[in-house]
Each structure stands twice: as C-alpha cells, then as structure tokens.
Amino acid sequence: MKVETILFDLDGTLINTNELIIASFTHTAEQFGDRKYSREEILDFIGPPLTESLAKINPDKVDDMMETYRKHNYENHETYVEAYPTVVDTINRLKQEGYQLGIVTTKLNDTAKLGLEITGMDQAFDVLIGLDDVDHAKPHPEPILEAIDQLKANPMTTLMVGDNYHDIEAGHNAGVQTAGVSWSIKGKEILEQHEPNYMLDEMADLLEIVGVETDA
C-alpha cells in the first residue's frame, strides 16, 4: 500500500531512552514509593502516559512526582540518550525523498525536542505532537489525527511506527497503517499480538516498505 506520511513514536522507537526512563522512575520511586520497585515492575511503566504510571507508585503525590521525574529525566538526557542503529540515516533519506515525517509522542514537547537535538534529528520532522497538544494520549487516536490534520495528510497513505502496543492500537484506532519495531523493550512478541501491518528488524527496513531504492 502506498505511503506518503510516516509518523514515529520517539522513545524506544527512534531514540534509546530506556535506561534514562528506568533511572528516572527509580529515582522518583525511591523518594515517593513505599517500597523498592524491581526493574521488571518499572518496565511496565514505560509506554503509558507518565501520570498514569506514577499514580501506581503514589496516587496522592502525582504532581510532585512528575516534577521530580521530569527534572531528573531532562538533566540526564545527554548521559543516556542515543539514536538506534540506522535511524538517523533512514530519517534523512526519507526526508530527502520527500516523505512527510512527524513525531507522535506521550512526552512533553520540550523534552521530546531535547532528545531530537541530542541525536541531530531536530530539523527532520514536519510536525511534533506531544502530550501538550492533545487531551487524550495514545492509544486514543487523537494524537495521530492531530498530526494528520496539521500535515493535511491522507490517513490511507499514513504509517505509524512505534515500539509499544499503545502506538499500534492508536494507529488502528486512527485508521492508518502500522509498523512495530523488533527492538521494543517490551518484546517483539507483545507487539505482534496487536497485529501491526509491518514489523521492522531495523529502521532501514522502512525504506523497502515504502519503496525507496537502496544499495543493498
């Protein structure tokens, strides 16, 4: 099927922030939780909106926890964040070929922009839809539909790429094509259960899917 617009989740899809997120959750839980949280428990916090995950630690202190989490996360971006293999080259090639590119993330815009700047992709995207821009986060279709609206794109030729089932479900709910990434920290098998149209073993696989000629 033809693809003209490609929307990407950010964390865990384009940039590897997994260890940063785990460190920020651990730092926050140590201050506000009533017990020590295991790495496995913290992995379950990745993907949903931040307020939803933090409420599981201490529902009475969500605002304070948000501030603590975001301060740690923002201040430690440069220590942890890097792009996944083949991501930057693939994004640059898609941009060069004229595809409309967008970010649809559950992060706040300023933190999302910081991650793009650190990885040198801050000029690559035509739109960035963060948590600031919507009333409902993924898997609700609103963030994807907002990106489509701003780009004046056609849902039938739009592809949503993500590492979490929230991304795939949001794509289904918005009526667009979907692609999961096999490097998801949640595991490829979890994503496959939500039936994405495509599964990427590396980001460069996108080029073949959308019909961009490669040297390989």
The full set of domain ranges for the chain reads: 5-16+82-210, 18-79
CATH topology of domain 18-79: DNA polymerase; domain 1 (1.10.150)
Q: Is it true that domain 5-16+82-210 has CATH number 3.30.1380.10?
A: no
Q: What is the pTM of this model?
A: 0.91
- How many Å apart are CA 129 and CA 138, to the nearest integer? 11
How far, rounded to the nearest angstrom, does the alpha carbon of residue 41 sit from its chain's CA centroid? Answer: 20
Is 126 known to be catalytic? no
Q: Where do we find the tokens 């849902």? A: 155
Q: Give the burial class of 165: count Cβ atoms within 10 A of its Cβ; 0-12 exposed, 13-18 middle, 19 or more buried.
A: buried
Q: Where are the alpha helices (DSSP H) in the chain?
A: 18-32, 39-43, 50-55, 62-75, 77-80, 87-96, 109-118, 142-151, 165-174, 188-192, 205-210
Residue 213 pLDDT level (bands cut at 50, 70, 90)? confident
Which of 70, 84, 49 minimizes the C-alpha distance to 170?
A: 49
Q: pLDDT tens, 76-119? A: 999 999 999 999 999 999 999 999 999 999 998 999 999 999 99
Per CATH, 5-16+82-210 and 18-79 having the same topology is answered no
Cα pseudo-dihedral 53, 58, 62, 67, rounded to 10: -90
Q: Which of 9, 11, 163, 167 is catalytic?
A: 9
Which pLDDT belongs to residue 47? 76
Instruction: Please tell me whether residue 31 adopts helix, strand or coil conformation.
Output: helix
